[in-house]
Amino acid sequence: MTTRSCSLSLSFSPNWRFSNNRTKFDRNLIHKSNPPVFRPLYPNSDKSLTVRTPRNLMSLTAASMFPANPVLNDYCVAGLAGSVALSLLLFWGEIAKRGVFDQKMIRKFVHISIGLVFMLFWPLFSYRHEAAYLAALIPGVNIIRMLLLGMGIWKDEATVKSMSRFGDYRELLKGPLYYATTITLASAIYWRTSPIAIASICNLCAGDGMADILGRRFGSEKLPYNRNKSYVGSIAMATFGFIASVGYMHYFSLSGLVEESWGLVLRFLVVSLSSAVVESLPISAELDDNLTVPLTALLVGTLLF
């Protein structure tokens, strides 16, 4: 009589922090769940995945406003994050109306600040799966807002000035709409434990935003294959996208959401360089950077992370 041995596989919520104790398991039998789940696993599989055992979970609840009541906590954090985002939009809109800065500069200030400030609130949400969708409602509401403004149904001169290049409300149906959609999907699908979400938003906000600002100011030396882009702009794109990605990796690690490693830093660098290369291509004249940059970060990040 032959006997077949089996072992047990563990799967943990992606919101748990992990240690360096590693065991190999079959990748096809690992599923996400809130509590640890035990499933039989036969050892002679040709596919394996490194899984880490959970570390202290106290840091996850320490960041919450109301750790004893996660539902109340999530609604309060969502309200706070939405209020701050709206206040930022109103602030930049008022600055644009007063003509304090050039309209294109205001647009980039909005571009850089909104997404990055919104991400600061992610660790405050609870471990519940519903928290990701609740957070995604904040930029999701802005999608509806961009549609209403871009179609001329709703009039808001200050917002149009702060988000468009030439003051045309129809511009909001392109770049600003893509921007809000990217942040919404990053929140709802990938969320705060995914390096892909970090890379997509950071390269879109910090990378693309600083590329335009520094490129216009110091970008006299143009790229040979695209006279609309400069060396300074492309270098700024890769540099600031990378710095922001590493910064948020560290920030999320403080709450136990992401584990810092040099390997992760290197992957962020590859994603930022790839995004900068795509942003510099002539296709940017046809396709908006707010679409090509996050798509590049998503595709490259999927291969690397």
pLDDT over threshold 50, residue 69? yes
Least confident of 17-31, 238-252, 268-282: 17-31
- Confidence band, pLDDT 50/70/90 cuts, at residue 200: very high
Amino acid present at 275 = S
Higher-pLDDT residue of 155, 21: 155
What is the 3-state secondary structure of 230-275?
A: EHHHHHHHHHHHHHHHHHHHHHHHCCCCCCCCHHHHHHHHHHHHHH
For residue 18, the surrounding DSSP H or E stretch is: strand 18-25
pLDDT reported for residue 59: 52
Domain ranges of the chain: 1-11+19-48, 63-192, 196-305
- Confidence band, pLDDT 50/70/90 cuts, at residue 19: very low
What is the distance between the alpha carbons of residues 100 and 139, in angstroms, rounded to a whole number?
26
- Confidence band, pLDDT 50/70/90 cuts, at residue 61: low
Higher-pLDDT residue of 189, 9: 189
User: What are the tens digits of pLDDT across the range 223-265?
Assistant: 999 988 999 999 999 999 999 999 999 999 999 999 999 999 9
What is the distance between the alpha carbons of residues 186 and 145, in angstroms, rounded to a whole number?
19
pLDDT reported for residue 95: 87
For residue 195, the surrounding DSSP H or E stretch is: helix 195-202
